Structure 1
Amino acid sequence: MTASDVVETIRLEPDAGLVKSLGANHILETAVADLVDNCLDAGATRVAIHLLTGRDRLVQVEVIDNGNGMDSTAADLAMTLGHQREYAVNDLGHFGIGMKAASFGHADVLTVWSSRYGATPVGRRIRRTDFSKDFSCEVLSGHAAADAEAHRRRVTGTGQGTSVVWTELRGTYRGANTEEARTWMANAERSLRSHLGVTFHRLIAKNTLDIEILVDELEYADEAIGTPVKAIDPFAYARSGHPDYPRTIVAESGGQRIAMHCHIWPPKVDIPGFRINGKPGDRFQGFYIYRNDRLLQVGGWSAIANFSLQRQLARVVLDDEAAIGSFLTMNPEKAGLRFEPVFRDALAHAAADDGTTFDAYLKDAEACYVEGNRRISRRQPVIAPEKGFAPKLRKSIGAELPLLRSDSLNLQWKKLPEGEFIDIDFGNSTLWLNARYRYLFAPERGSLNDAPLVKALLFLLTHNVFEGAHLGPKDKDNIALWRAVLGAAVEAEEEMRGE
């Protein structure tokens, strides 16, 4: 190939049809988070998110901020697909398609109202169908923009800022079942709160960002008050699960260094932060990647390591702006990153100052999980089963539980009043069963070791009572409970069998 091969240079404009695929990978949570990024880039400190319903179905979404706002020129550029403004070092915007992709992933109509200090309030509207034909955008009246400014003032305390409104929504519940609609809304709000709480947890904790969410019927929304989103810190353990962690492991390539801050959660802890959005913490092992205090990836090993139940305590922080674009590539939805081969290669040789490698860190996390389970699941000794228990049953109990050799429990039959099934003889360490009902559990002629299933269940239920020095109030209350419930159960058993 040579320069002489070129006979002409032509300009190929993008086809407006690409709009139809915008936002295809966005879920509601990531789409709204992308809009919050725009609010932060505009200097906002307060963001109000309104999920507005009609007959309990989501019909409108509003994201309202108190940022710097836009004038007419800036609004036109913001609505232009792919326009990349001059991004500041701390800006979260990256591709120039965020607001459009986030919006068209969930709505067919995007409306933007904005007011900048010293400028006339402006409004712009894009209809997905028209935009996908010729990139057309509607310019809205100054009167309507002024009304939107007044609404923003009521919500955020200032008219300056931007309001993004989605209407003609897609992907929401549309069925006829009202309970299903309400459940859908409740789940949507909970997932959104959780996602925003963890994604922006550093900014919320620093009090540099307030996010509130309001869910209400559209006609009553002006009278309602939103509820703040709380920070969910995925590293909010009180004490590390391993005394040598957190520890920093550094990967190097081509003179560039990336620090990985490796954490190990304490075992058997199930608190918000370890558990996210009600999902168990083992799903959130892996890398947590931040950019300007915004969390871009919530766990996952990105093919650097394999998911494992034993690695559920391992979480790694990457908080290096320079790594994105060289070691890591961000996707447009900001919902995860691709780890480039250069980073994978560098990780193989990464080490902490004391020589600890990434593989050694994973082994430490696994060992902490295993040891924590072994230590916490140790079973306490129980009274030894004796007379009335079949030899096979005694052997099984002894294999599963350490036995107190100082005393033993007998379980035997004798005639008790009708309607009672058990009696506790604490002084003689004997649990008596009512012989009136023996035939129900030993239909063949009974023997000393009969009804092993019933006796095993009763042993597991009552053994604690016989292991104390005396019967306390709680023991007596439990015995009364067992007598009442088991007495009713055995009578019901007899009736059902037609005896």
Structure 2
Amino acid sequence: MPGKAWFDVAPSAARLTSSLRDIGYDFPTAVADIVDNSVAAGAMRVEVMIEFAGSRSRVYIADDGCGMSAGALLEGLRLGTRRSYRLGELGRYGLGLKTASLSQCRSVAVVSRSNPEVVRTSARVLDLDVVEEWDQWVVVDPGNDPDVARAKQWLAEGTGTVVLWRHLDRVLPEKQPEGGWARRRFETLAAKTAEHLGVVFHRFLEGVDGKAPLVITVNGQKVRAWNPFAPEEPGVSELPPQRFEVTIGDVTGHVDLRRFVLPSRDRFSTPGEFERLSGPLNWNRQQGIYVYRADRLVQWGGWSGIRGIDEHTKMARAALDFSTDLDSAFNINVAKMRVSLPAQLRQMLEAPVNELCIYANDAYRRSARPKQKPVPTDLNTTPDVRAATQAATTAGLALRAAAMQAGEWDAWQRIAASLRKDAPEIAKSLGLDV
């Protein structure tokens, strides 16, 4: 700034870190943010260990990725790292490791090995007690720390990184951290974390772009992928995929939409699978748009303001994919759990989303109808008549979808009402009787 006086006003590290602890993570989302780093490092296996030991309880998150050199490790603990992110990389702001960890604990240690030929590890600790004492963003050498030494042993076989959380003040109760309630809370957190990781990383757990599936374990138990679109169920129907071009300022990119109608309970392979696919929020609240950023699920449940949740459309789910080059357009938050659909995209999504819900509503109504009693064999049960009936129902559904796509839904409702009044048999054959 030539010709102007300028002043370096460093923020209070103690005050800043206190604010950053409340950025919006809960325990499972904080763990998921650390796993993002493991995925970015090319890890094939991530082990999460949530160990209860009263006030000395610990959380280890270990991976077999490429690891970090001593310099890269120190840079990784910088608040707002200076490193750049590649296209498709899950990182975004250079805050995740720090903010996710400190949202749950007061001390985070990182141990890493980057050379597969030489067993040499680097370890550093970011401790809020030290930061508050010095009022500076300082990182320390752990010295002869037994917990860090244990982490180093896991890296004896190859490269990787271990993140260690201690002094879990946001997890353990301030009073009686040794008690039974605290122990039960740890057990619950382990189960919720496994469930959450199975949801947000389901594509990686299944294998992305021909790559070997990622393996994640929580306390030794392998995490099972939860795919919201039930690809193993033969009763799932998919509408034609669509692609949209989005331009925000000087940023242009593509967004892909896939739409699915899941089968009703009686068409699922087993009752157990029907219950499992209902998801953490259950069927009604799990309907809607599932937003993926670089194959990582970042938001799900609801229709992002396009329409409301409805019992009749609870089997409708849609996948919306965007790449990291559109981050600014989607306003993804630091915790990578919330996005805002660009206004122009929301407008483009209205017709295909409503079309999906028309099909889901039709499937719901057909499954909800009482089973018809068998009728005597006559012309009404011949294959030709049954095929004609099915064709008429399909035609009615297509007409409704076409009216929606053409922006003539109000006109179509008037037509349907007229048919129900003046030609009830035709309305019934077209599936418009309810």
TM-score scaled by length of structure 2: 0.72
Find 1:317's aligned residue among 308, 316, 319.
Answer: 319
Q: Any residues of structure 2 matched to 1:73-472 within 5 Å, and which?
A: 73-117=71-115, 118=118, 120-131=120-131, 133-141=135-143, 147-148=149-150, 150-153=152-155, 158-174=157-173, 179-206=180-207, 207-214=212-219, 226-237=220-231, 238-242=233-237, 245-254=238-247, 256-268=253-265, 269=268, 271=274, 274-277=277-280, 279-321=281-323, 324-325=326-327, 327-348=329-350, 357-375=352-370, 378=371
- Residues 60-83 of structure 1 deviation map (CA, whole Å, 9 limit, x = unaligned): 111011112222211110110011
Question: The residue matched to 2:228 in structure 1 has which SS?
Answer: coil
The aligned amino acid for 1:187 is T
Question: The residue matched to 1:262 in structure 2 has which SS?
Answer: strand
Are the counterparts in 2 of residues 247 and 262 from structure 1 also a CA contact under 8 Å? yes
Q: Which moved more, 1:315-324 or 1:94-103?
A: 315-324
The aligned amino acid for 1:105 is S
The aligned amino acid for 1:233 is N
Tell me how far 1:35 sits from its aligned partner: 0.5
Whole-angstrom CA distance in 2 between matches of 1:272 and 1:211 = 23
Question: The residue matched to 2:73 in structure 1 has which SS?
Answer: helix
Whole-angstrom CA distance in 2 between matches of 1:261 and 1:298 = 14
Q: List gaps (5 residues or longer) in structure 2.
A: 375-434
**Which has the higher Rg, Structure 1 or Structure 2?**
1
Task: Specify the alignment match of 2:384 in structure 1.
Answer: none
Q: Which moved more, 1:295-304 or 1:322-331?
A: 322-331
Task: Specify the alignment match of 1:459 in structure 2.
Answer: none
Whole-angstrom CA distance in 1 between matches of 2:81 and 2:34 = 16
**Number of matched pairs:** 351
Whole-angstrom CA distance in 1 between matches of 2:353 and 2:229 = 19
CA 1:146 to 1:339, structure 2 compared with 1: closer, same or farther past 3 Å? Answer: closer
Task: Specify the alignment match of 1:60 in structure 2.
Answer: 58
Are the counterparts in 2 of residues 36 and 47 from structure 1 also a CA contact under 8 Å? yes
Tell me how far 1:330 sits from its aligned partner: 1.1
Tell me how far 1:21 sits from its aligned partner: 2.0
Whole-angstrom CA distance in 1 between matches of 2:322 and 2:60 = 32
CA 1:249 to 1:126, structure 2 compared with 1: closer, same or farther past 3 Å? Answer: same
Tell me how far 1:341 sits from its aligned partner: 1.9
Are the counterparts in 2 of residues 202 and 231 from structure 1 also a CA contact under 8 Å? yes
Tell me how far 1:241 sits from its aligned partner: 4.8
- Residues 274-308 of structure 1 deviation map (CA, whole Å, 9 limit, x = unaligned): 2224x422221111122232211233322222122
- Residues 290-340 of structure 1 deviation map (CA, whole Å, 9 limit, x = unaligned): 223221123332222212222211111112316732542211111121112
Question: The residue matched to 2:345 in structure 1 has which SS?
Answer: helix
Q: Which moved more, 1:138-147 or 1:116-125?
A: 138-147
Tell me how far 1:39 sits from its aligned partner: 1.1
Higher relative contact order by CA 8 Å / sep ≥ 6: 1 or 2? 2
Are the counterparts in 1 of residues 46 and 62 from structure 2 also a CA contact under 8 Å? yes
Question: The residue matched to 1:324 in structure 2 has which SS?
Answer: helix
- Residues 7-48 of structure 1 deviation map (CA, whole Å, 9 limit, x = unaligned): 445444444222112242101110001001111112211111
| Structure with greater strand percent | 1
The aligned amino acid for 1:183 is R
The aligned amino acid for 1:82 is G
Q: Which moved more, 1:366-375 or 1:308-317?
A: 366-375
Tell me how far 1:144 sits from its aligned partner: 6.8
Whole-angstrom CA distance in 2 between matches of 1:123 and 1:46 = 21
| RMSD after superposition | 3.0
Whole-angstrom CA distance in 2 between matches of 1:317 and 1:158 = 39
Whole-angstrom CA distance in 1 between matches of 2:5 and 2:309 = 53
Tell me how far 1:198 sits from its aligned partner: 1.4
The aligned amino acid for 2:228 is P
The aligned amino acid for 1:276 is G
The aligned amino acid for 2:260 is H
Question: The residue matched to 1:295 in structure 2 has which SS?
Answer: strand
Identity of aligned residues (%): 26
Tell me how far 1:200 sits from its aligned partner: 1.2
Whole-angstrom CA distance in 2 between matches of 1:171 and 1:257 = 40
Are the counterparts in 1 of residues 106 and 127 from structure 2 also a CA contact under 8 Å? yes
Tell me how far 1:380 sits from its aligned partner: 7.8
Are the counterparts in 1 of residues 56 and 167 from structure 2 also a CA contact under 8 Å? no
CA 1:322 to 1:171, structure 2 compared with 1: closer, same or farther past 3 Å? Answer: closer
Q: Any residues of structure 2 matched to 1:3-14 within 5 Å, and which?
A: 7-14=4-11
Question: The residue matched to 1:197 in structure 2 has which SS?
Answer: helix
Are the counterparts in 2 of residues 121 and 142 from structure 1 also a CA contact under 8 Å? no
CA 1:322 to 1:240, structure 2 compared with 1: closer, same or farther past 3 Å? Answer: farther
Whole-angstrom CA distance in 2 between matches of 1:46 and 1:202 = 14
